[in-house]
Each structure stands twice: as C-alpha cells, then as structure tokens.
Amino acid sequence: MEIGNLFAEASQNAGVVDLDFLVLTIISMAIFLLVFTLVLVFCIRYRRGSNAKRGRLPEIMRREIEAGWTAGTVFLALFIFWWAVAAPAALQGQPAPALKIHIYAKQWMWQVEHPNGAREINTLHLPVGTPVHLLMTSQDVIHSFYVPAFRAKHDVLPDRIVELEFLPTKIGTFHLFCAEFCGTAHSQMTGQVIVMRQEDYAHWREVQPQSETLAAEGAALFHSLGCSGCHDPASAVHAPDLRGVFGHIVQLQGGRQVVADEAYVRDSILLPDKDIVAGFAPIMPSFSNVVNNGQIESLIAYIRSLSPQESAQ
Amino acid sequence: MSDITAGAYEYSRTPSIGAVDNYLTHGRTLRSWLVTTDHKRIGILYALSITVFFFIGAIAMAIVRLDLITPAPDLVSDDTYNKLFTLHGIVMVWFFLIPSIPATFGNFMLPLMIGAKDVAFPRLNLTSWYLFVIGALFTIGCIVAGGVDTGWTFYTPYSSQYSHGFVIPAAAGVFITGFSSILTGLNFITTIHSLRTPGMHWFRLPLFVWAMYTTSAVMILATPVLAMTLLLMSAERFFGIPIFDPARGGDPLLFQHLFWFYSHPAVYIMILPAMGVVSEIFTCYARRRIFGYSFMVYCMVGIAVVGFFVWGHHMFVAGQSPFANLVFSFMSFVVAVPSAIKVFNWTATLYRGQITFESPFLYCLGFLWLFTFGGLTGLVLATVPLDVHLTDTYFVVAHFHYIMVGGSVSAFFAALHYWWPKITGRMYDEAWARFAAILMFFGFNLTFFPQFIMGYAGMPRRYHAYAPEFQIFHVLSTAGAAVLGAAYALPALYLLWSLRRGERAGPNPWCATGLEWQTESPPPRDNFRTPPVVVAAPYQYHSETHGPDYQHRDIERAQGTV
C-alpha cells in the first residue's frame, strides 16, 4: 500500500517532475533569501537615526544596477522556460507498445475498460513497467483524471477523446482523484490505481468475468446491427472477412499498412472511409450515430475474439 | 508621531479652519450621502459595501474551513459545501477584491493626488456605485434563494446544463457589477488625462495614479469579455442555445478561453493597485525617493499589456494544443519579469533611507514577503509539467491566495492605515495597528503555507471529503484561518474607536509628499482651498545631493519652505 505516502513517486515522469520542482524551489529560495536578506539588512542599518551613511546614491546604483537586474531576470526567466521545456522532451519516444485502456467518466464515477474487455469501476489495475495509454471521455460534464503519485492529470471532456500516457514504475495502490469540479459528489469521485507485477496483471485480467460476456455482447451486436450481412464469409457483399484480422497487419489502398488494433477497428466502425482495405470498395456506412462507446468496446472485443492468439493474450 | 509633526510644518496656502467645513460635514443627512457626487463620499460608500461583502465571504469560508477539520464530510451537506466555496469565490473576487483598492482608495485619493476637484464624471461615478449595489442585490438574492454551486469559474457544461443552483441570478449579479468596473475605469482614465493640476506631467504622477491608470485600462478592455461570456453561458442555460455543449456542436473549452481572457487580467486588476499603494508607502517610510521611478511605470504598463496574453496557463491540462501550452508558459515567464523588477526596486528604495516602522509599512513588508512568495510559486505553475501535477490542487489555491490575499489584501490594509488619518482626520492606536499587521502576517502564513504542501501531495481543491493523510494540513490551515479572522476583525475595532477617541491627525501626519497631504484632514468638499501647483517629480523625500535626515525636514527643504 502506497496510499498514505504523501509524496510517492510511482511513474517514470514523477521523478522528472520532482526534480524540476526541486531545482525551481532552490532557485526561488535563492532569490527569496537575497531579497529578504537585503530588506533585513537595510531595515536594521537604515532604521531612523542610525549612524549609517546616507547621502546620494552611488552612481552605479542608478542605471547599471537597474539594467543589470532587468537583464538578469529576463535571462533567468528564459533559462527556466527553456530548461523546463527541454526536460520532458527527453522523455518522448518510449519504445514499448502501450497498453490502451479506455476511461469513461461520469457523475460521479470512473468506468474502466481494459483491452480484453475487462471492466471495473473506480479502480484501475495496471501492470508495472508497461507504458499505459489512456483514452478518456466523459458522458456529462468536464472531469479530470488525476493520479498524484504518477504526477499525471488530464481533463476529461464530453464528446471528445483525450489521451494521457504514463509509465508506472512502482507496485502499490495509489489515489485516483477527479480534479475538475463536477457537481454535488465531486469529492467522492475518487478511486484507486493498483499497480501489479505484469504476470499478476495478466492473470487478473483473464479472470475478470466480463471479458467473455463482452465478446458475446459484441457478437450479438454484430448481427443485430447488420455487420454480419456483409462481413460474414458467406455474404454476397464484397467486404473483408474479419476472422484472424485483429492484431495483424492489414494492407490498405495506396500501399499503406496498418496494424488492426483497437483504434483501427474503432475508426473503421466510425470513419469507414478513412482507411480502406486494399481490394475493397468504400461502401460501408459510418456507424458513428448508431453505436455508443460501450457498444464499440463490445464490438472490438468480439472482433478480437475472432483472432484466437490475440484474445488469449 | 508628535516629534515629526511638530516644528515649522505649516502649509501657508491652507488656512487652518479645522474640522468645521469638510466633505463629511458638508451634508449630514442620509440623502446627502445617497445622492452625493463627491468622489470621497462615493469612495466611502464603496468601502462600507465591500466591507459587508468581505465579511459575508469570510463567514462562508469559515464554515468550509471548520468542515475541513475532519476528512469526513460531516458539518454541512455536499451541496451546501459546494455553494459555500462558490459564494466565497464570487463574493471575494467580484464584490471585494476587484473594487477593493480602486473603488475605495482610488476614488478617494486619485483626484486628490493629481490636484483635481473631483473625477471627470462625478454622476457616472455615483452610477457605478449603484450598479455595484444592484449587482450585489442579485448576488444576495441568489444566496437567500438557495445559492449556486458552480464554483466562481462557472465552467460549462456544468453551469449551463447540469447545475441545479441559481446560476443565472449569480451570473447576472456579476454581469451588472462588471459595468460598475467598466465605468469606474472609464472615469479614472478620463480624470487622469484631463484633470491633472498645472505642472502634474505624466512622469510626475505618483505611482498609485499610474497603478489606477493601468488598472483602469485592464478593466475597460477585459471586463466586456466577462460580460459576453456570462451572457453566452446564460443563453445556453436559459434558451438552450448550444454554444458550449459539444453534443450539439458547441465547444466546452471555448468557455474557458473566454472566461480566463477576463479572469487572468482580473488578477492584475487586483494586484496593480496593490503595487501602487506599496510604492507610496515604501518611499514614505523609507524617506527615500522611489528607486527607478520610470522603470516602475514601465513595469506596470508591461504587466497590464502582457497580462492579456497569459490566460491559457489556466488550461494546460484542459485539452488545448501542446503548442499553445508552450506559448502561454513562455508568456507567463515573461510577465513575471516586471513583477520581479518591482520587488527589487522596492527593496532598493530602502537603501540609505531613514526607515520607521509604522503599521502601514509593516503591512507593506508583509505584502512584499507574501507577494514575492506567491510570485515565485507562480513560476512553478507556469512550468507545464509541474502545472500538470499541481493545477486544481491546493497548491494553486495557496498560490493565488498568496497573491490576492497576501498581496492585495495586505496592501488594502496598508492603504487603509496610511490614508485613514486623511480620510477621517483621526489617528488610530498605533500599537494595536502594528499588532494586527503582525498577527495578519503570521495568521496568513499558517493558513496558506500548509496548503502548498498538501497541494504538492495531490490534495485536489473543492473537495468536501478527503483522504485522511491530508488532515494535519487542513487542521493547521483552519487554525491559521482563526488567527487570520481575528487579525481582520481587530482593525474594525480600533479604527472605529479612533473615529471618536483618536487624536486629531493634522494635514500630514506622515510627513508625506503627495498632493493629498497638502490639504486638510478630512479634505474640504472641493479638495483644495487653492488649486495646487506641481513643480517637481514626486517623492521629494530628500534633496538631490543629500540623503534623508533624521528630522524629516527634507521635504520643506525640497519645497523651499525652509
């Protein structure tokens, strides 16, 4: 349990943020001490009636020093800005494939859907040492996904998918907060992030009962929405066979290639004209006003289940 | 003070009539106050109104802080809690801080400081106050009816679709009060342009007048955007016109851009007047000319201008473009520079002074400490990766209270103690005033410093229930709030006492140089018996060749009366 440890660092980024903060604190304290040492010295030395020399200001106190500290302050501000921008830029380009997890926020709970369809509410299980890529949306007002131990936060907006990436580095249980005021029970919109060993996470995910039912739901939708009318191998309409597609490379028109992952399947349902599979006509209608986010998850789970090695992972 | 005021310190051009005929005795009926066009009386009307609001906002927060002693949400219900912090924010921002220094001391002192008889549009000035009162009535009505729970920021779509509070009356109150700001700003700018007494060139203006000028410019340019934003939000809420609702093609982030386009410059509406006050007081109690007068002016103009281009730093995690984040981060670092230069210049003003430590100066030292601390934590928040972690936590709460309360409210109390003898003609008890200033400083730090720590640990703001590990910080903060409350109540007691029992102040108890000190205390209805003429730059606390001397006789030497 890391809850209760006020300043736990549990992501790759956390150490960077804390270092930034430490450096800025040191610079700030130096400025602060400089100013208030001077104030204190002046207040004592030049208190009314003291013997200190008064008279006119030395020549250097007039122009040079003013120009000097103006230039110094400008330089310091620019330096801190440059340094703060450069530090996180070095973190970019994490090589490992990210674990994509969908987050649905609503008044006042967090719904989580893992890649295999496992669902949970107000808890988020994660494997340690694996980059995590959250795809988040809100069903009502603006919320904000905040895990202090990861030093990670992003507002979650209605009708827009926002993304947040981080790499958990520490096993333990951490706070999940909603950081944007969202109404009556805002302060109860909290949860736990449970970072586990990778094997434990894989095991946990497999034993979640929802994964089977999600794919089954998806299968039912696949028929009821009419997808099977074209995509069934026996169909007369010329549409790609979806068996064994998920997780593999798909050849697109124009010679491009794409890996059929969640984002691709989601795009294909909502924006079918975006990536046309080589050799097929762009005849599929968009389902963007037909299916909701949960149904898309179910469809993705079903399509994943058509690729046996993928669904076993 | 008697050893300072004693001596050959007579103003030959102000015949000593005493307290017989002044702006307070000019009419004694309630009606004479309610239809007054005297800028001094309007300043006092504002002062009384914002004092009422200050205590309303303080009581709301007292209940919140009591509730936060324990992690469980036990004192009030969730909705009541949300309404209380919303009330605190709306009242303190729009009904106390925005009008605080400009509408009271600005109104009272600005014409005096430039040697004018009144502001340029005296009746418009009274209109401003009535608009403020009408806005205030809407807000009080909203409280009585049941309150509003959106936070002072009114973020959509919560405010426009989901909140069950009285959003539109609250917004209407703020909307109407906004016009009071705009008209006051208009009046001040016109006054400064057209009513300066002979010899009062632009670069002879006291820095407080420059502060009023830059503040007024920001009020005029930014406040209409707030009016527009609240109107659009109300249109969505009342008529269902989808402006911010994304499900129907609107954009929820648009609201935040518009809101902060006003509300960030609004921070400068609060802090520029404070900078003006502190500049007057540092130079007076150090007996030294202000260090770098022209830089001080340029810095205020710079803050007012650059302050318009930093609003996006409130939205680093809201979902705006990462490139926009970089631009706004950069501009936020830029806007810190003029503030830092002002801090250095105030410090340098003390160099080779003859410093005395009366209560206005103590409040200003408190201001300097808290403002510098708040400003430096502002650099932390301007750094994007740090802001990602810290935004919407108590770190931000502590930061802006250091600026807006530690900075602006300390300066408000400094101004109150500095100009009280001029406004009322009476001296207050200096020992009590010093005690209150010191108490306020320690109470403030005890209240808000722990909030930096819990904010960094991740305690989100606007939380009714919270995790138990944060309790120690909340307990410290509540204890500090009790001390702070006492420190705010104290001046009310000894200042009221001074009205009856205080020593007569005389025209210039601080031996200060501004024109406002060259007329009686309290000033006559038309400010000056003879229009003053200005022959030199402000702050002639010592001659060009000599430093200030022990007896504070330099002013007379500089003015040629010795």
Q: Give the pLDDT confidence of A96-149 residue by residue, as tens digits.
A: 678 999 999 988 899 998 988 788 889 999 999 999 999 999 988 999 999 999
For residue A213, the model assigns a pLDDT of 67
Residues of A in contact with B286 (CB under 8 A): 46
Q: Determine the Cα–Cα distance for residues A274 and A288; give it in Å rounded to an integer.
A: 13
- Beta bridge partner(s), residue A135: A102, A163
Residue B529 Cα, gap to closest chain A Cα (Å): 34
Whether the predicted pLDDT of A313 surpasses 80: no
Buried b / exposed e over A111-126, threshold 16 CB at 10 Å, is bbbbbbbbbbeeebbb
Residues of A in contact with B357 (CB under 8 A): 43, 47
Query: What H or E segment, with its residue span, contains residue B522?
Result: none
Query: Quick check: is B24 in a domain?
Result: no
A157 or B544: whose pLDDT is higher?
Answer: A157
Sign of CA dihedral A93, A98, A102, A105: negative
Sign of CA dihedral B450, B455, B460, B462: positive
- Beta bridge partner(s), residue A106: A109
Query: Quick check: is B462 in a domain?
Result: yes
Which of B330, B377, B389 is the closest to A81 by Cβ?
B330
Which of B369, B377, B385 is the closest to A16 by Cβ?
B385
Tell whether A259 is within 8 A of chain B (Cβ).
no
The residues, ordered by sequence, that sit 6+ positions from B452 with a Cβ below 8 Å of its Cβ are: B377, B394, B395, B398, B399
Predicted TM-score (pTM) of the model is 0.85
Ramachandran quadrant class, B249 (left: phi over 0; alpha: psi -120 to 50; beta: rest): left
For residue B3, the model assigns a pLDDT of 35
pLDDT digits (tens, 9 = 90+) for B320-338: 888 999 999 999 999 999 9
Query: Quick check: is B16 in a domain?
Result: no
Cβ burial of B124 (10 Å; 0-12, 13-18, 19+) is middle
Q: Determine the Cα–Cα distance for residues B273 and B107; give it in Å rounded to an integer.
A: 12
Q: Are A84 and B332 in contact (CB under 8 A)?
A: no
Structure tokens at B275: 């900078």
Tell whether B298 is within 8 A of chain A (Cβ).
no
User: Angle of helix B394-401 relative to helix B430-456, nearest 10 degrees?
Assistant: 160
Q: Is beta strand A152-156 parallel, antiparallel or unpaired with respect to A190-196? A: unpaired
Cβ burial of B391 (10 Å; 0-12, 13-18, 19+) is buried
Query: Quick check: is B12 in a domain?
Result: no
How many interface pairs between A and B have CB atoms less than 8 angstroms apart?
Answer: 243
Provide the domain limits for residue B366.
Answer: 35-559
Q: Determine the Cα–Cα distance for residues B279 and B300; give it in Å rounded to an integer.
A: 12
Tell whether A35 is within 8 A of chain B (Cβ).
yes
Report the percentage of chain B scoring pLDDT > 90: 82
User: Considering only residues 150 to 209 of chain B, which have any Cβ-Cβ distance to chain A shorter than 8 Å?
Assistant: 150-151, 153, 155, 157-158, 161-163
Q: Binning pLDDT at 50, 70 and 90, where does residue A95 land? A: low
Q: Determine the Cα–Cα distance for residues B421 and B517; give it in Å rounded to an integer.
A: 10
Q: Determine the Cα–Cα distance for residues B75 and B63; give it in Å rounded to an integer.
A: 8
Ramachandran quadrant class, B21 (left: phi over 0; alpha: psi -120 to 50; beta: rest): beta
- CB atoms B351 and A3 under 8 Å: no
Provide the 3-class DSSP secondary structure of residue A156: strand
Give the residue from B519, B416, B231, B550 showing the smallest Cα distance to A48.
B550
Query: What H or E segment, with its residue span, contains residue A189?
Result: none
Tell whether A236 is within 8 A of chain B (Cβ).
no
Helix, strand, coil tally for chain A in percent (to 5) = 40, 20, 35
Query: Quick check: is B28 in a domain?
Result: no
Which of A13, A42, A158 is the closest to B350 by Cβ?
A42
Query: What H or E segment, with its residue span, contains residue B429?
Result: none
Q: Determine the Cα–Cα distance for residues B385 and A22; give it in Å rounded to an integer.
A: 13
Q: Determine the Cα–Cα distance for residues B299 and B268; give it in Å rounded to an integer.
A: 12
> Could you state, in order of their start, the residue ranges of all structural domains in chain A?
14-45+59-85, 99-206, 210-312
Q: In what order do the strands lie in the sheet with A172-178?
A: A123-127, A190-196, A172-178, A143-147, A152-156
Which of A33, A147, A187, A193 would best serve as a mutation to test chain B binding (most B beta carbons within 10 A)?
Answer: A187
DSSP string covering A44-101, please? Answer: HHTBTT-SS--SSPPGGGTTHHHHHHHHHHHHHHHHHHHHHHHHHHTT----SPPEEE
Q: Please list the alpha-helical segments (H only) found in B287-429.
A: 293-306, 322-349, 359-382, 384-390, 394-401, 410-424
Q: Determine the Cα–Cα distance for residues B81 and B72; give it in Å rounded to an integer.
A: 12
Q: Determine the Cα–Cα distance for residues B139 and B87; give it in Å rounded to an integer.
A: 9
Report the percentage of chain A scoring pLDDT > 90: 40
Domain total for chain B? 1
| Mean pLDDT computed over A170-199 | 94
Cis peptide preceding B260, ω within 30 of 0? no
Cβ–Cβ contacts within 10 Å for residue A286, how many? 13
Q: Are B366 and B437 in contact (CB under 8 A)?
A: yes
CATH 3.80.10.10, applies to A99-206: no
Which of B317, B337, B467 is the closest to A77 by Cβ?
B337
CATH of the domain at B231: 1.20.210.10
**DSSP classification of residue B95:** I
Q: Are B478 and B68 in contact (CB under 8 A)?
A: yes
Tell whether A271 is within 8 A of chain B (Cβ).
no
- Beta bridge partner(s), residue B123: none
Query: Quick check: is B554 in a domain?
Result: yes
Tell whether B384 is within 8 A of chain A (Cβ).
yes
What does the pLDDT profile of chain B (562 residues) look like in tens digits?
333 333 333 343 444 444 468 999 888 899 999 999 999 999 999 999 999 999 999 999 999 999 999 999 989 999 999 999 999 999 999 999 999 999 999 999 999 999 999 999 999 999 999 999 999 999 888 888 889 999 999 998 999 988 988 999 999 999 999 999 999 999 999 999 999 999 999 999 999 999 999 999 999 999 999 999 999 999 999 999 999 988 888 898 999 999 999 999 999 999 999 999 999 999 999 999 999 999 999 999 999 999 999 999 999 999 888 899 999 999 999 999 999 999 999 999 999 999 999 999 999 999 999 999 999 999 999 999 999 999 999 999 999 999 999 999 999 999 999 999 999 999 999 999 999 999 999 999 999 999 999 999 999 999 999 999 999 999 999 999 999 999 999 999 999 999 999 999 889 999 899 999 999 989 999 999 888 999 888 998 888 777 787 766 555 555 544 3
- CB atoms A48 and B347 under 8 Å: no
pLDDT digits (tens, 9 = 90+) for B406-439: 999 999 999 999 999 999 999 999 999 999 999 9
Hey, which bits of B412-519 come out as E strands? none
pLDDT, chain A, mean? 85
Query: Quick check: is B542 in a domain?
Result: yes
Nearest CA in chain B to A2: B469
- CB atoms A151 and B548 under 8 Å: no
Residues of B in contact with A107 (CB under 8 A): 162
Residue A235 Cα, gap to closest chain B Cα (Å): 36
Q: Is beta strand A143-147 parallel, antiparallel or unpaired with respect to A132-138? A: unpaired
Which of A7, A16, A70, A144 would best serve as a mutation to test chain B binding (most B beta carbons within 10 A)?
Answer: A70
Query: Quick check: is B323 in a domain?
Result: yes
For residue B12, the model assigns a pLDDT of 39
Hey, which bits of B102-258 come out as E strands? none
Whether the predicted pLDDT of A212 surpasses 70: no
Give the residue from A68, A66, A61, A70 showing the smallest Cα distance to B353.
A61
Cis peptide preceding B157, ω within 30 of 0? yes
Q: Is beta strand A162-166 parallel, antiparallel or unpaired with respect to A172-178? A: unpaired
Distances (CA, A) of B409 to B93, B98, B183, B271, B416: 12, 11, 23, 9, 10
Which of A18, A29, A41, A159 would best serve as a mutation to test chain B binding (most B beta carbons within 10 A)?
Answer: A159
Which of B351, B365, B469 is the closest to A6 by Cβ?
B469
Buried b / exposed e over B341-358, threshold 16 CB at 10 Å, is bbbbbbbbbbbbbbbbeb
**DSSP classification of residue A28:** H
For residue B552, the model assigns a pLDDT of 62
CATH 1.10.760.10, applies to A210-312: yes
Buried b / exposed e over B11-40, threshold 16 CB at 10 Å, is beebeeeeeeebbbebeeeeeeeeebebbb
